[in-house]
Amino acid sequence: MPKHVVATVEEIPPGGRKVVEIAGRSIGVFNLGGDYFALRNRCPHQGGPLCLGKQSGFIHSPLPGEYEYSRQGEILKCPWHSWEFDIRTGQSWFDPARVRVRQYDVTVAPAQALLDREAPAPGLEPGPYVAETYPVTVEQQYIVIDLPG
């Protein structure tokens, strides 16, 4: 895989991001507390500039008047339709209690597979889309993306 130097670690501070162009692809590089992640800057929902969206976390309410906030800065909202994507994995997330759809796909899966699946917060389910992700490494204080052939 060709390696592409995209920045120094000083250029992308914790909580920061940088959008770069590599081999005709716009890619956003994110620093989540010293861990670096790269996502294609294209929302798989309708092609919006995903990496220009707001970073947030998950909030849920176990009881009225009580709120819990988790994964601060790890969730990216597409600026076009606010679809949420996990920066660490590219997985989309949505709230099925508030999102109405006409039809659900049904599959048969082993019980263990269902036990192994873990949502980031109660009430959330994996969404239908996964943003493209790329491996990111830090080599002698340079941030490097391995882009497939």
pLDDT tens track for 51-80 = 999 999 988 888 889 999 989 999 999 999
Cβ atoms of residues 91 and 130 within 8 Å: yes
Cβ atoms of residues 107 and 72 within 8 Å: no
Q: How far is CA 59 from CA 4, 29, 82, 97, 123, in A?
A: 36, 24, 15, 14, 11
Q: At CA 61, angle to CA 59 and CA 64, rounded to 5?
A: 145
- Would you list the domain boundaries of the chain? 3-146
Written as six digits, the tokens of 55 are: 């970073």
The CATH class that applies to domain 3-146 reads mainly beta
* pLDDT tier for residue 2 given thresholds of 50, 70 and 90: confident
Q: Work out whether strand 35-40 and strand 54-60 pair parallel, antiparallel, or are unpaired.
A: unpaired
